[in-house]
Amino acid sequence: MHIVVLGGGYSGLLATKLLAKRTNAKVTLINAADRFVERVRLHQLSSGQQLRDLPFTELLDGSGVDLIIDRATAIDVENRTIRLENAPEPVSYDVLFYALGSQANLDMVPGAAEHAYTVADAAGARRLHERVTVLSGGATPRPRLGASPQTPLAGTVAVVGGGLTGIEAASELAESNPGLKVRLVTGGEFGGALSGRGRRHLRLSFERLGIEISEQVRVTEVRADGLMLAGGEHIPADIVIWTTGFRVPALAREAGFAVDADGRMIVDETLRSVSHPEVYAVGDAAAAHRADNQELRMACATGLPTAAHAVGALADRLAGRTPKPLDFGYRFRCISLGRRNGLIQFVRADDSPVERVLTGRMAALYKEAIVRSTIMVQRHPALAKFA
């Protein structure tokens, strides 16, 4: 049996290593880049911080997994093959784990694709850092607790999106670049997914960092000189960062898999495709649900445990056992607010917030420990049961 894993993000890499441990199959990982990307740290990369170098050859050492560095261009479901961009022959599979993740959606408003930067991939985060460096006159980023009145204004940044990605990107840039005037623009209530205590800490943190907030407004266009809002208001900005809206690759839809309106593969309670039983989908590219039919959000906190569950389901089937349905619940949301501050919002299993939060330095350390654990799980996949 040959199992192919398509995509080497958090979910795909964990699934790959668990499959190599829990089955007797030949396992192949196909990924477009030769290095693992710590996506939950890309706001740090965009601020000029060095991230760990994590080559797949090192992460897969001793696992017995075959690694192919190439981009998949099509899946032939009838013949069970994957066509690659740079290979003359397709790769065949008996079982496919589809884990291509998500990417920034820059087609939501006119001008975003032409003028906005993103922190959804490493290349985008590096481009953003280069632009910030130019705007700041090549100054070395340095931490701050708040903008000093004597700090000369180097430029303006508008971060579009009030989710975790936008909050973390705005905080990191403001802390590391005292000369930047940073504004966060969101269509909803700022911190609307948090408890009252969480929202208060978030607003206080933004005030200390000098970040302005425009909430419950709709961006209609991104221009070279900033944003246009519904109603005609212009928000000037030298840099626009787009963090709202993610989309998945079109490969699953084009191949004929059952997908939802967003193109995410529809899976059952074991993460198996409802249209093609030889295929499992994990991570952002899967439309997975809790037992109460609540769709799971795109997040590392979703991807790691569901990837482990999908591998367990396949291992059970190969052993002649009936796999258990997914029993999933959230526990918290971790938000970094720069390097010395954070917010841990504790939640119910359905992801709704409770009033309890952890804030400040202890929350920053908590978040760092969680982020480090995602790599520890990749190195030691047996720890996935505790994720």
Q: How many CA atoms lie within 13 Å of 208's alpha carbon, on the beta-carbon side?
A: 18
Mean of per-residue pLDDT scores for the chain: 94
pLDDT in the model for residue 139: 56
- Give the tens place of pLDDT for each residue, 106-140: 999 999 999 999 999 999 999 999 999 999 876 55
- Give the tens place of pLDDT for each residue, 204-231: 999 999 999 999 999 999 999 999 999 9
CATH number of 2-32+70-102+248-328: 3.50.50.60
Residues contacting 134, CB < 8 A, separation 6+: none
CATH architecture of 112-242: 3-Layer(bba) Sandwich (3.50)
Q: In a 3-state reduction of DSSP, which class is residue 245?
A: coil
Structure tokens at 63: 């696992």
Bridge-partner residues for 266, per DSSP? 287
Q: Is residue 362 within 8 Å of residue 343, measured between CB atoms?
A: no
Q: How many CA atoms lie within 13 Å of 27's alpha carbon, on the beta-carbon side?
A: 25
Percent of the chain with pLDDT over 90: 93
pLDDT in the model for residue 137: 78
pLDDT in the model for residue 146: 45
Kindly give the residue spans of alpha helices, DSSP state H, lying in 24-160. Answer: 42-46, 56-59, 112-115, 122-135
In 308-384, DSSP assigns E strands to 332-336, 342-347, 353-359
Backbone phi, then psi, for 232, in 5-degree steps? Answer: 100, 0
Bridge-partner residues for 35, per DSSP? 55
Q: Per-domain residue ranges for the chain?
A: 2-32+70-102+248-328, 112-242
- Give the tens place of pLDDT for each residue, 252-284: 999 999 999 999 999 999 999 999 999 999 999
The model's confidence at residue 147, banded by pLDDT at 50, 70 and 90, is very low
Q: What angle do CA 36, 161, 226 make, to 5 degrees?
A: 105
Percent of the chain with pLDDT over 70: 96
User: What is the torsional sign of CA 274, 275, 278, 281?
Assistant: negative
Bridge-partner residues for 219, per DSSP? 229
Residues contacting 366, CB < 8 A, separation 6+: 334, 342, 344, 358
158: nearest Cα among 193, 188, 117: 117
Rounded mean pLDDT, 339-368: 97
Topology agreement, domain 2-32+70-102+248-328 and domain 112-242: yes
- Give the tens place of pLDDT for each residue, 154-201: 899 999 999 999 999 999 999 999 999 999 999 999 999 999 999 999
The structure tokens 């291509």 sit at: 100
Backbone phi, then psi, for 295, in 5-degree steps? Answer: -70, 135
Burial class (CB in 10 A: 0-12, 13-18, 19+), 289: middle
